Structure 1
Amino acid sequence: MIKEGGAVVVTNIHDIARLSGCSVSTVSRVINHQKYVADDKRAKIEAIMQQLDYVPNRVARDLSNGQTKTIGVVLPYANHPYFARVIDGIVGAGFSAGYKITLLPTNYDMTIERHYLEQLRGKAYDALIFTSRSSSLDTLERYRKYGQIVCCEDPGDERQLAAAFTDRMASYVYALKWAQTQGYQTMGVVLSRNNVISASTRVTRRAYQEVYGKLTDTNLFTGAVTYDDGYQAGAYFAKAEHPVDAIFSNGDDIGAGIHQYFVDQHQPPIPVIGQENLLSSRLLHFSTIDHHLEALGQAAFRLAIGTSRTHELIKSDFIKR
């Protein structure tokens, strides 16, 4: 308790206990709306709290319980439908469970990722969900002792990390083999980045290699995150010296941008295979892969509030159009 200009200012639960003549544990039960407090004592404590406008320090209380009720979601950027839909699943599940969800953008900067891991070490979050990463799995494993860490990729059975992920490899191979049956012998590929650390990049390259052989630079466009990027990808493939028969895109809205470029140039739209089954692919009627990303986000949240190292696979569906 401190005094400012003759006025009494209550600073913590111990001050409430002294003013009420009750024990700290009794005051705590009143603050947390628990039972086993006599009505007269509860009324006296509540009256003192109201009179002095006392507000419990929720952060300190949560930390004393060993929890912040906050989950950090590490993501490169939020303006891509993949991450937006995963976040929708996490936020929906988190809200229902009474958790706060904090978005932690990185732009794939390893230094920023390390900063968030250090915050986990400092108990700023109960857990971190990595929707994508630049840091190594070894690094994530080292920080797991400070809180739960969940990866949205398959880290392998030997890793001591919880994971929720989609069966991208199987779905990509299936989609590309279907494209071959449609007569598309030369397939272009659009990615957000050409970096082997990216799980989606690695899997896309492996799937392409299995079906079509080596992915050459001439058949690859990188840096596509938005519709406008897709439009630029359309321009790239339209002007390529060796045209492709179809394009495997890393998102439906990006595929829509590719489609629109050809329309604007009064050229026949090139066949596109997209991802995420968004409205754009339905309206333009091109095939897509639905990875059920809201379900992925929900699974990642469930793992984040637990302590297990479970790996949960979310099945994908290829939608032919």
Structure 2
Amino acid sequence: MHGLTNKKTFDNKQLTAPMANLKDLARISGFSISTVSKALNNSDEISSLTKKKLRKLATDHNYIPNKTACALRKQKTDILMICLPKQQLCKYSAVIEGIIDKSQSLGYQTLIHQFDLKTLPQALKQLEPQRTVDGLVFLLERTDPATENMFEQHAKEGLVLIKHTKPIAPNCDTKKQRGIGRKLGKALIERIDWKTNAPEQFSKI
């Protein structure tokens, strides 16, 4: 990528330059790719002045981080998945709103996955750790010993999950349900953060 400029004019029209990548920014700035990456990720190893210069350079040249690459590097996707049985979306709508509200406030996106209760073992198998999401929250009215054993086994294999297995009371107002959801979202993210930063010998807990 040669001759990068932020904007060009042609027949009185502004044209935006193509997006630069880390290699381009390193070449233009004279810093190594590693230094540029650390500066853009606010590393303490890089001085404030260098961070400021490289961030401005990144903005001027339309740099956008590759989210897939960032996820692979951090071993995190910043995505949560809400799992619940089919045909129960309306029942848990306020709880789901609470989970989404809390997760967004903490920098996470959310997906919703609905499954057939009769095929829960297969659903769990499909949701084994594949770096597609950081954690799951299950919304179920009840579980049996076999299901609990499955949850425990998958947790040991590295699937970060929590579950809410209490029925939603008929007289439970929307505000209270959202509060339940926010608590679930916070608890899951705290578990994800602990696991991410835990010593290796505890990574399977």
**CA drift at 1:95:** 1.7
Q: 1:293 to 1:78 in 2, by over 3 A?
A: farther
Q: 2:182 aligns with which of 295, 298, 301?
A: 298
What's the secondary structure of 2:77's corresponding residue? coil
**Alpha-carbon distance between aligned partners in 1 of 2:31 and 2:64, rounded to the nearest angstrom:** 18
**How many percent of aligned residue pairs carry the same amino acid?**
22
**Alpha-carbon distance between aligned partners in 1 of 2:188 and 2:51, rounded to the nearest angstrom:** 39
Q: What's the CA shift string for 1:232-256, capped at 9, x where partnerless?
A: xxxxxxxxxxxxxxxxxxx8xxxxx
What's the secondary structure of 1:124's corresponding residue? coil
What's the secondary structure of 1:140's corresponding residue? helix
Given the alignment of the two structures, is residue 99 of structure 1 paired with residue 113 of structure 2, yes or no? no
Q: CA RMSD in A?
A: 3.5
Q: After the TM superposition, which residues 207-222 of structure 1 pair with which residues of structure 2 at under 5 Å, given as runs?
A: none
| Runs of at least 4 residues off by over 6 Å | none
Contact 1:94–1:100 under 8 Å retained in 2: yes
Contact 2:71–2:77 under 8 Å retained in 1: yes
Residues matched between the structures, number: 170
Q: 1:99 to 1:276 in 2, by over 3 A?
A: farther
Contact 2:26–2:32 under 8 Å retained in 1: yes
Q: After the TM superposition, which residues 1-321 of structure 1 pair with which residues of structure 2 at under 5 Å, given as runs?
A: 12-33=21-42, 36-37=46-47, 39=49, 42-43=52-53, 46-47=56-57, 50-51=60-61, 53-77=62-86, 80-108=89-117, 109-110=119-120, 111-115=122-126, 117-118=127-128, 121-132=129-140, 136-144=147-155, 145-153=157-165, 166=166, 275-277=170-172, 292-307=176-191
**CA drift at 1:17:** 2.0
Unaligned regions of 5+ residues in structure 2, if any? 3-17, 193-205
Give the structure with higher Rg (CA).
1
Contact 1:20–1:45 under 8 Å retained in 2: no
Unaligned regions of 5+ residues in structure 1, if any? 3-8, 154-165, 167-199, 201-250, 252-273, 279-289, 309-321
**Alpha-carbon distance between aligned partners in 1 of 2:87 and 2:24, rounded to the nearest angstrom:** 45
Q: TM-score, normalised by structure 2?
A: 0.65
**CA drift at 1:22:** 0.5
Letter of the 1:138 counterpart: N
Q: 1:89 to 1:49 in 2, by over 3 A?
A: closer
Instruction: Using CA pairs under 8 Å that are at least 6 residues apart, name the structure with larger relative contact order, 1 or 2.
Output: 2
Q: TM-score, normalised by structure 1?
A: 0.44
